[in-house]
Chains A and B, each alone.
Chain A
Amino acid sequence: MAITHIGSTLVIEGEISGSDAVVVQGRVKGSIETSQGVVIENSAHVEANLTLDTLEVAGDVKGNVTAASRVEIKPEGKMVGDIKAPRILIADGAHFKGNIDMDVGR
Chain B
Amino acid sequence: MAATTVIAAGSVVRGHLTGQEDLLLQGRVEGSVALQGNLDIEVDARADATIEAVTVRIQGTVVGRVVAREGIELSASARVRADLVAPRLVIAEGALFAGAIDMSGAPVVRPVFTAPAPVQPVATASPTGQPSLAPVGQPSLAPVGQPSLALGDDDDDPALPDGVDAKNIAFKKKK
Q: Do any beta carbons of A and B sit within 8 angstroms of each other in the complex? A: yes
B124 smallest CB distance to A (angstroms): 10
Residue tally, chain B, CB below 8 Å to A = 37
Quick check: A18 and B27 within 8 Å, CB to CB? yes
Asked if A90 is an interface residue, CB under 8 A from chain B, the answer is no
Asked if B15 is an interface residue, CB under 8 A from chain A, the answer is yes
Quick check: A13 and B4 within 8 Å, CB to CB? no
Asked if A31 is an interface residue, CB under 8 A from chain B, the answer is yes
B34 smallest CB distance to A (angstroms): 9
Quick check: A13 and B19 within 8 Å, CB to CB? no
Asked if B168 is an interface residue, CB under 8 A from chain A, the answer is no
Contact among A22, A31, A64 for B11, CB-based, below 8 A:
A22
The DSSP consensus for interface residues of chain B is loop
Residues of chain B with a CB closer than 8 A to A22's CB: 11
Residues of chain A with a CB closer than 8 A to B121's CB: 13, 29
Contact among A20, A30, A63 for B9, CB-based, below 8 A:
A20
A12 with B13, Cβ < 8 A, contacts A29-B125, A31-B129 known: yes
Quick check: A4 and B6 within 8 Å, CB to CB? yes
The DSSP consensus for interface residues of chain A is strand
Asked if B98 is an interface residue, CB under 8 A from chain A, the answer is no
Chain B residues with a Cβ under 8 A of chain A: 2-21, 23, 26-27, 31, 116-119, 121-122, 125, 127-131, 133
Which 9 pairs show the lowest CB-CB distances between chains A and B?
Answer: A14-B15, A31-B129, A18-B11, A2-B8, A19-B10, A10-B19, A7-B5, A20-B8, A9-B20
Query: Could you jot down 24 A-B contacts, CB within 8 Å?
Result: A2-B9, A2-B11, A3-B8, A4-B10, A4-B11, A5-B4, A9-B3, A10-B18, A11-B19, A12-B15, A13-B16, A14-B133, A15-B13, A15-B129, A17-B12, A18-B11, A20-B8, A20-B9, A30-B15, A30-B129, A31-B128, A31-B129, A48-B129, A49-B127
